[in-house]
Structure 1
């Protein structure tokens, strides 16, 4: 079926439209949708990328952090105006505030909503008192917002079960699970990683450099292993978030880089190229992920994975086949998993091949987008 309808994709970070939803935008265009792309903080580069994809950028104002009833109310009013102006037929929001406020706005106008829950993050981590309070408030808002949604899509079954158990969604609603955002296999091509006993073994973490992502665990693991395995390398790609109490110390990163314990890259503008030169992907997170994009990129590239038994992460590893699942917040299991590859470098290529197969069979972006489109089609 070819639709002649207007869809509004709504997000909280405009760069994610091209980075994470570019293939979905193109897929919807081939099905006849006119695709409007709503986000805050567009810059010239992001506007250009969205237009090149065929989407129509629609800037709106959103306070991305905190809860301010007045500014949040104004966001709902602005979203209603946008939907009326562009004659939106269906709303597809993702991330917390767009899902909640977009759903409120669309409900007032009778516009069907298909929400994507991309991970529950710090808010549902329960690691601090603040997180626990935020979870209670967010659950209340989600419950009000999602009850009239046509469909709700989750990126892992743990999040779906949590929403059902906490009665945030009704069990008779149209509820679905897709395997993350998917990965474009062509953009992250497979690269065999052959190692001899004398080859350097290169671990890498790519993330926002927050404590909840387990960055400090990797730094401590590097301190422990580097003296015993001089041919080991521990690469960290990313930046500490600004104005965040959970940010990893920039000073400590730079000091460890100076003394040769880690290789600190900062932010990468070409992750595909960066990870193609490295061997094993590490993400010892205790953050509630959807399915981490960084792991999908590593799978496609053919890297073994070391990550935690967290929702969204455990779906990316077949234990002992393409990597290892470890307990969150514990340093020893991480060190043991990294030591395995240092002692058995021949396993890097074997497990990397299994990672690529998993990417092809489970996480191919074309499979994910077809699944999402089928959900939209059914609801319309």
Structure 2
């Protein structure tokens, strides 16, 4: 397979570098385009093109991005374009609708518009549905990371005539992650550097926004602190880049005795290695959160919210616990349960790791994507599993 594939994402597109490299190993010519730092792509030997769009609501910037993306696709001249993330999944099909190119979009979560209860989000939903229906007209295949999102799109007519496939998660480089775990800074040194001492640690890796449940987590941390004062909560992820959605630093500072926010980090495997529990209080409709896959692979028991995507990784009572979103009491109670019942916590962490290795490995994910691409580029290769494309699951 020598077809050129242009993969377009947003600012976190670098997290897909292992996926892009694996596509290249399968014979595809891969070019990446994104809005983040190009350096990781160049270090990996990947061709990368920078472009710009506004992550937040900005019609003028979105209109400009349409023209930029249209020119980008025309200049690269790929046989197939793969888009990821909310804005690119809308803009790319619209920008390339006049070009002879097959477009595949991956719905990795429905994001703020479909998760927030704010008046603005509720007002935007019909507009986003209409835009997705329009984008679907130019889309050859829509891929979903969880069945809840697939059902939502199909029930609302947002798939169009293209095929609909379920491919769980974005794939995680298991060998690479485990190598990073073994090569990490010794936990004792890292604990000392972070001022954690011998405390029990609950870690959260996510954007520091209200929609990601950080306010709920802070309230839960206060409850845990009252019952178990030696516990420390470690928040890892960007805050300053999150604009109006960011949790104010002053709100975090009120919990300073037992909560430490350290910003975005590149040593996530090492940080997970020093933790006892992973908490993920999101209020978003997630795809399959990479943070959960990495936490599970690190053998951590997880307490997450009962939201689409989270339940694909956390099986309640088996590999962790699920609690309703926006319920700090329930979140705190499950964290305390795991801290008190260490054998149960270890067993859950081991099961979570085995689940990820079995169902979310990068090799399996890339094989599924490659199958979809091959069938679109050569319809004679279409498998029997795609005879009913509206409910097909990539094998």
TM-score by length of 2: 0.86
Q: Is the 8 A contact 2:116 2:211 kept in 1?
A: no
Deviation at 1:269, TM superposition (A): 2.5
- CA positional deviation for 1:319: 1.6
Aligned to 2:271: 274
Secondary structure at 2:317 match in 1: coil
Matches within 5 A, 1:205-284: 205-242=204-241, 244-257=243-256, 260-284=257-281
Q: Check conservation: 1:91, 1:112, Cα contact below 8 A.
A: yes
Gaps of 5+ in 2: 188-197, 378-395
The CA distance in 1 between the partners of 2:54 and 2:217, in whole Å, is: 32
How far off its partner does 1:231 sit? Answer: 3.1
What does 1:87-166 align with in structure 2 at a 5 Å threshold? Answer: 87-166=77-156
Aligned residue number for residue 177 of structure 1: 166
Question: Closer, same or farther in 2 for the Cα pair 1:148/1:316, shift >3 Å?
Answer: same
**1:231/1:161 CA distance change after superposition, 3 Å:** same
Does the CA contact (< 8 Å) of 1:122 and 1:287 recur in 2? Answer: yes
1:131 Cα shift? 0.7
Could you list the per-position Cα deviations for residues 213-268 of structure 1 after superposition, in whole angstroms to 9, with x for gaps in the alignment?
121222112212213213322222223244633321212323422xx222332322
- SS of equivalent to 2:286: coil
C-alpha displacement at 1:106, in angstroms?
A: 2.1
Displacement of 1:162:
0.6
Q: Would you say the 8 A contact 1:29–1:54 is kept in 2? A: no
1:64 aligns with 2:55: yes
Aligned to 2:14: 18
Cα distance change on mapping 1:52 and 1:124 into 2, 3 Å: same
Q: Give the one of 349, 354, 357 matched to 2:354.
A: 357
- Contact kept, 8 Å, 1:206 with 1:236, in 2: the verdict is yes
Q: Is the 8 A contact 1:91 1:106 kept in 2?
A: no
Please state whether the residue corresponding to 1:107 is helix, strand or coil. coil
CA pair 214-63 structure 1, distance change in 2 beyond 3 A: closer
Per the alignment, do residues 134 and 277 of structure 1 end up closer, same or farther by CA in structure 2, a change over 3 Å counting?
Answer: same
Q: Distance in 1 between matches of 2:364 and 2:240?
A: 32
Segments of structure 1 that go 5 or more residues without pairing to the other structure are: 194-198
The aligned length equals 361
What is the distance in 2 between the residues matched to 1:299 and 1:212? 22
Task: Give yes or no for contact 2:116–2:284 (8 Å, CA) kept in 1.
Answer: no
- Which residue of the partner structure matches residue 38 of structure 2? 47
Distance 1:243 1:29, change over 3 A: closer
> 1:265–1:77: structure 2 CA closer, same or farther, 3 Å change rule?
closer
Out of 364-373 and 154-163, give the one that drifted further: 364-373
Note if contact 1:93-1:114 (Cα within 8 Å) is conserved in structure 2: yes
Query: In structure 2, what is the Cα distance between the partners aligned to 1:243 and 1:126?
Result: 16
CA spacing shift, 1:344–1:188, aligned 2, 3 Å: same
2:30 matched to which residue of 1? 35
Post-superposition offset of 1:186? 2.4
* Offset at residue 347 of structure 1 (A): 2.1
CA distance in 2, matches of 1:266, 1:54: 28
Deviations 1:86-133 (A, max 9, x none): 221110011122222211232201211011111111011141011112
Report SS of the residue matched to 2:142: strand
- Is contact 1:34-1:55 (8 Å) kept? no
Structure 1, 310-319 or 345-354: larger mean CA deviation: 345-354
After TM superposition, the score normalised by the length of structure 1 is 0.89
In structure 2, do the counterparts of structure 1 residues 175 and 286 end up closer, same or farther at CA, with 3 Å as the change threshold?
same
Aligned residue number for residue 196 of structure 1:
none
Provide, for residues 10-30 of structure 1, a one-character-per-residue CA deviation record: whole Å limited to 9, x for no partner. 1122xx2322x1122112211
Contact 1:187 1:272 in 2 (8 A): no
User: Equivalent residue for 1:344?
Assistant: 341
Pairing of 1:190-205 with structure 2 (within 5 A): 200-205=199-204
